[in-house]
Chain A
Amino acid sequence: MINCKEASEFTIKKSKGKLSLKERFQLWLHLSICGVCKLFAIQSKWLDKVSSRIEISEQFSTEEKETLKRNLSDIKS
Chain B
Amino acid sequence: MAKLELYPDTWIDVYSDQMLGYAITRVQDRDLAKDLVQESFFVALRSRQTYRGELSEKNWLYLILRSRILDHYKKKKEVTESQLQNNRNDEGEGDNFLENGAWKADTAPKEWNADRMVESKEFMVVLNKCRSRLTDMQQSVFTLKFIDGETSEDICKELDITSSNYWVLVHRAKLQLRNCLEKSWMT
Contacts and interface: CB of A to CB of B under 8 A. Distances in A.
B20 interface: yes
B108 interface: yes
B46 interface: yes
B70 to A, nearest CB: 18
Tell me the interface secondary structure of chain B in the complex: helix
A54 B30 CA distance: 16
Name the interface size band of chain A: 35 or more
Contact of A54 (B45, B46, B112, B128): B128
Contacts of B33: 58
B96 to A, nearest CB: 8
A22 interface: no
Nearest to B124: A54
Contacts of A48: 146
Contacts, number: 111
Given A6-B101, A51-B142, A57-B21, A72 B171 contact: no
A64 B177 contact: no
Contacts of B147: 51-52, 54
A55 interface: yes
A40 B171 contact: no
A20 interface: no
Interface string A65-77: 1001101100110
Contacts of A68: 12, 16, 38, 41
A55 B127 contact: no
Interface of A: 3-6, 8-9, 12-13, 16, 18, 36-37, 39-40, 43-44, 46-48, 50-60, 64-65, 68-69, 71-72, 75-76
16 contacts: A3-B101, A4-B103, A8-B175, A9-B167, A12-B171, A16-B152, A36-B108, A43-B178, A51-B127, A52-B147, A54-B128, A54-B131, A54-B146, A55-B25, A56-B24, A72-B8
